[in-house]
Structure 1
Amino acid sequence: MSDQIPASERQPSRSQSFHRLHRPGAPFVLPCAWDVASARLFAEAGHPAVGTTSLGVAAGIGAADEDRETLTAMADLIGNISRTLPEVLLTCDFEDGYSDDPAAVVATLQQGFAVDGINIEDATGGCLSEPAALAAKVSAIKDALPGLFVNARIDTYWTGQDSLGDTLERMRRYVDSGADGIFVPGDLDLETTGRIVDSCPLPVNVLASPRFSRDQFAEVGVARISTGSLLYRAAISAAVQSLSGLSEDRPAQTANVLSYRTVSELGD
């Protein structure tokens, strides 16, 4: 991590570029990587920014997701992506900040995360925290790193507590704390998403959905569509399906599979 540019020293123009991607009604798709190869492929596909998936990182080290076990692995991934793809705008799944102490959250960011943005959530280990906890972390981060895009993630729907009222109240707390964006993951319908957008003065981020297209999200004013863990899960699902074919005595299926040489050159 010593080769990284500290978050406090990232170029202001990078921060401004990342902020400008968030246009309500014209959402950009944020692909979330789990290693350098996936990050490079997403960037080469023309995406202006790349995120990370905590599930992909956690699964890669045999850890539980959203349980503060990925700190070292996530910091290492950020360092490797920053070093090999220095021009790519980068945002990070920062879980709950890996600490209850706002000062410790800030120190972790400053010491190990050279990023242009973060998601930071109001749940730990799948359990919602009091909104004051995330509000304090957001405020401390923005005081220390004012240029960093802080996407405050509200986990009401994600944890099965489908309360629009609680979601909007948490949103107001995080807006007042200085957040730059609001992220409400979960299987929300378009009406609910639209009500959140209409109530929010900040850009709203949603998860990619099997029910709704980018244009449909655009119509209700969404500014960013994150793939979350979807691409990682799609990749390992395809691997399992390929292996199943071999186990059933079928020839290897190589159509639409990247060649060995192509993948090997991703590390150059």
Structure 2
Amino acid sequence: MNPSLPDAKRFRELHAPGQVLVLPNVWDAMSARLVESLGGAALATSSAAVAWAHGAPDGERLEFDRLLASTRDIVRAVRVPVSVDFERGYNQSAADVADAVCRLAQEGVVGINLEDGAEPPEVLTSKLSACREAFQRQGLDVFLNARTDVILRRMLSGPQALDEVIRRTKRYADAGCDGIFVPGLSAAEDLARVVSEVSVPLNVWAAPALPPVDQLRAMGVRRVSVGPRLALTALSAARRDAEHLMAGHWAPPPGETPLTYPQVNGWFTQTPTPSKE
């Protein structure tokens, strides 16, 4: 990857053949800087974790203006490309979804996830087409990642489920998406079939059954994300420490290696606010 390229081009480079982009999903400026400090080449948000951080449940229950402000904080805090999980687009009409996505792009976001959820595929197809037309009008470059929930929601089972995944993802690719995301897909033979039959990069969800990264690379899988996993891990660690403190134990729980104040504060004091091209 060439760090001198504008963020959108850098993000597209990370999906090139022969690479697997691992995206540990973040939810605020602090978690974003953490992942960046560990060498993360790009970041993606988790809709659930962002909502929880603002006291709302997942499922587009967070006000769009709060999501926009949270995204602005993340983009401002890091130097790497940022993609946003935008669920079903926070709007009913395709035109309104496209307008909202453009507002996120104007804040420096270079990737968007849009999902079909429980809706028929025609709904997401129209949103993708509207986004692509809006990008062309406004001169924006945004990586559209189309997510299908056929497997996650168990709409179908067995071979019929995979057939439906491929049918939908082909339609989404024809409508202008740049990548497809199939949470719940993990069997090697299923991954290989989707890669072979769909023309755009495949994104999958990290799961214990998922093959190792070298095997994914050999298959042609291009991207792995983790959803709210990091947020749940962070909360679990905070809960352990809170329980420890409330029991009157002042040292950290055994085995913990906590970050220090100077380390975290240094993420922000040593990194000037980047300019977004």
Q: Map residues 151-230 of structure 1 onto 2, 5 A cutoff.
A: 151-161=145-155, 162=157, 163-186=161-184, 188-212=186-210, 213-230=212-229
Q: Are 2:258 and 1:257 aligned? A: yes
Q: Cα deviation per residue 1:62-110 (whole Å; 9 max; x = unaligned)?
A: 222123435222211111122232x321111011111121111111122
Structure 1: where are the runs of 5+ without partners?
1-10
Cα distance in 2 for residues equivalent to 1:43 and 1:18: 14
Cα distance in 2 for residues equivalent to 1:43 and 1:140: 32
Pick closer, same or farther for the CA change 1:247–1:83 going to 2, 3 Å. closer
Paired amino acid for 2:119? S
Structure 2: where are the runs of 5+ without partners?
270-277
Pick closer, same or farther for the CA change 1:185–1:94 going to 2, 3 Å. same
Pick closer, same or farther for the CA change 1:153–1:191 going to 2, 3 Å. same
Number of the residue aligned with 1:8: none
SS at match of 2:6: helix
Number of the residue aligned with 1:137: 127
Number of the residue aligned with 1:78: 71
Asked whether the equivalents of residues 205 and 226 of structure 2 are also in contact (C-alpha less than 8 Å), the reply is yes
SS at match of 1:145: helix
Cα distance in 2 for residues equivalent to 1:93 and 1:70: 14
Deviation at 1:155, TM superposition (A): 0.9
Asked whether the equivalents of residues 83 and 111 of structure 2 are also in contact (C-alpha less than 8 Å), the reply is yes
Number of the residue aligned with 2:26: 33
Question: Identity of counterpart residues, as a percentage?
Answer: 35
How many pairs were matched up? 253
C-alpha root-mean-square deviation of aligned residues, in Å? Answer: 2.1
Deviation at 1:259, TM superposition (A): 0.5
Number of the residue aligned with 2:80: 88
Deviation at 1:250, TM superposition (A): 4.3
With structure 2 as the length reference, what TM-score do the two structures score? 0.84
With structure 1 as the length reference, what TM-score do the two structures score? 0.87
Asked whether the equivalents of residues 43 and 88 of structure 1 are also in contact (C-alpha less than 8 Å), the reply is yes
Deviation at 1:248, TM superposition (A): 4.7
Q: Map residues 10-159 of structure 1 onto 2, 5 A cutoff.
A: 13-85=6-78, 87-113=79-105, 114=107, 115-123=109-117, 128-146=118-136, 147-159=141-153
SS at match of 2:88: coil
Paired amino acid for 1:117? G
